[in-house]
């Protein structure tokens, strides 16, 4: 049996955030907590939303104490704010870090037995749907607004906890590319590569099915075409809109079928070294694709190549796969993703613990090729 969980309602398009007051009023929400992060206040992204609320006379309290790779402490502080305002809805304006923190807060608000946050790690058996969330993503990457996952770092164990729970899904997503315009080049590039990783891992993961393939194919096609344009010219509206939608499409797919070891290997780089999630994925993606080409998912690499516009007519699956990997390598270079983990301060002596963590990650069982701690270590080493 296949199961698909998606938002109740989603809005797309430049300026679509204008619909926010109407949603709040129609659904009769009375007390709003606006969740975001400090840099989004500094670069005036939050104001693009808060001024709409103010114009509609909707009062809200602001919580912005969230760091990239958000922590258990961020969630606990958010819960304090949630209680203070007796919020009946969370409006989350931000990237994956903000939306994930909002999800954890919203889940605990209605399932208070998980208030330690740590017990939500993995697949939590929550009973109640979370507090309503209206999510407005400001990056084109994680698709946290449509996924049933959220990722919180337990700084004590240096672990990125991947929490999987259909009760966490935001009720409404407003995917307004205008909120993404202010992303600097490096964040556009790394978050976009996160979205491409979602789409490619979704295409080849063990549980992939014809519905998730459809999402993965379209997402790969649009991201491959529009990510370099969005990086080069952040004000290119078409590229921003296509990226905003494509990352959401990738999210609809992977959220319902899972990922693979690019993500397993990226998570400990975030948990132990606070490396940005998209950047970690971007650096690992082509190397892990090469490894996964030798798996039962090999024929899927032909679809990846075709989505990237490669003519595969006279190619074997192996040849098509090799071309797809080359294309990802070229894209990675073109948008300025660094090559070596050592340039981020990773040492050879770190690889044992990183590999152990990656092997135990919740995404590992979905990888199309059976793997091992030794193989994972070799993969890290090849880009050290």
* Residue 304 binding partner per list Fe ion, ligand NAD, none, with a CB distance cut-off of 5 to 8 Å that depends on partner kind: none
CB of 235 closer than 8 Å to CB of 181: yes
Identified binder of Fe ion from the candidate list 168, 194, 357, 361, rule CB under 5 A: 194
Q: CA–CA separation, 252 vs 76, rounded Å?
A: 28
CB of 101 closer than 8 Å to CB of 143: no
Choice between 145 and 312, CB closer to ligand NAD? 145
Q: Please give the helix or strand (H or E) that residue 354 lies within, else none.
A: helix 351-359
Q: CA–CA separation, 20 vs 136, rounded Å?
A: 10
- Angle between helical axes of 237-257 and 185-204 (0-180°, round to 10): 40
CB of 198 to Fe ion, least distance (A): 6
Choice between 37 and 194, CB closer to Fe ion? 194
Q: CA–CA separation, 56 vs 297, rounded Å?
A: 51
CB of 49 closer than 8 Å to CB of 34: yes
CB of 354 to ligand NAD, least distance (A): 15
165 binds Fe ion (CB under 5 A): no
Write down the H helix ranges in 258-342. Answer: 261-273, 277-293, 298-307, 317-334
CB of 379 closer than 8 Å to CB of 287: yes
Choice between 37 and 121, CB closer to ligand NAD? 37
Window 117-156: contact mask with Fe ion (x via CB under 5 A): ----------------------------------------
* Residue 144 binding partner per list Fe ion, ligand NAD, none, with a CB distance cut-off of 5 to 8 Å that depends on partner kind: ligand NAD
CB of 240 closer than 8 Å to CB of 234: yes
Partnered with residue 337 across adjacent β-strands are none
CB of 191 to Fe ion, least distance (A): 9
Residues that bind ligand NAD (CB under 6 A): 37, 39-40, 43, 45, 68-69, 94-98, 100, 138-139, 141-142, 144, 147, 149-151, 160, 179-180, 182-183, 187, 191, 194, 270, 277-278
CB of 297 to ligand NAD, least distance (A): 21
CB of 30 to Fe ion, least distance (A): 34
Question: Which residue, chain included where needed, has tokens 């009375």?
Answer: 30
CB of 304 to ligand NAD, least distance (A): 19
Write out the two tokens for 98. Answer: 């903000």
Choice between 35 and 98, CB closer to ligand NAD? 98
Q: Would you tell me which residues interact with Fe ion (CB under 5 A)?
A: 194
């Amino acid at each position: 049996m296949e199961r698909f969980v998606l938002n109740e309602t989603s809005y797309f398009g430049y300026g679509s955030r204008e619909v926010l007051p109407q949603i709040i009023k129609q659904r009769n929400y009375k007390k709003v907590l606006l969740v975001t992060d400090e840099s989004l206040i500094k670069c005036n992204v939050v104001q693009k939303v808060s001024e709409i609320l103010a114009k509609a006379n909707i009062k809200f309290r602001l919580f912005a104490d969230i760091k990239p790779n958000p922590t258990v402490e961020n969630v606990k502080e958010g819960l304090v704010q949630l209680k203070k305002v007796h919020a009946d809805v969370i409006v989350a304006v931000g990237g994956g870090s903000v939306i994930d923190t909002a999800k954890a807060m919203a889940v605990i608000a209605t399932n208070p037995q998980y208030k330690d946050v740590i017990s939500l790690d993995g697949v939590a058996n929550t009973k109640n749907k979370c507090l309503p969330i209206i999510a407005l993503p400001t990056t084109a990457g994680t698709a946290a607004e449509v996924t049933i996952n959220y990722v919180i770092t337990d700084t004590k164990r240096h672990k990125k906890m991947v929490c999987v729970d259909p009760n966490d899904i935001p009720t409404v997503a407003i995917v307004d590319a205008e909120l993404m315009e202010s992303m600097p080049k490096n964040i556009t590039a790394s978050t976009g590569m996160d979205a491409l990783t979602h789409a490619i891992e979704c295409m080849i993961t063990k549980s992939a099915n014809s519905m998730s393939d459809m999402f993965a194919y379209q997402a790969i096609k649009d991201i491959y075409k529009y990510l370099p344009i969005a990086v080069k010219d952040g004000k290119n509206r078409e590229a921003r809109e296509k990226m905003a939608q494509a990352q959401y499409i990738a999210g609809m797919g992977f959220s319902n079928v899972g990922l693979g070891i690019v993500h397993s290997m990226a998570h400990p780089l975030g948990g132990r070294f606070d490396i940005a999630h998209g950047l970690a994925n971007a650096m690992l993606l082509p190397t892990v694709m090469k490894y996964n080409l030798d798996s039962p998912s090999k024929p899927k690499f032909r679809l990846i190549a075709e989505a990237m516009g490669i003519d595969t007519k006279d190619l074997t699956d192996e040849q098509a796969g090799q071309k797809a990997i080359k294309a990802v390598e070229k894209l990675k270079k073109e948008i300025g993703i660094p090559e070596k983990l050592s340039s981020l301060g990773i040492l050879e002596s770190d690889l044992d613990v990183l590999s152990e963590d990656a092997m135990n990650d919740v995404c590992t069982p979905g990888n199309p090729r059976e793997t091992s701690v030794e193989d994972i270590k070799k993969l890290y080493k090849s880009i050290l």
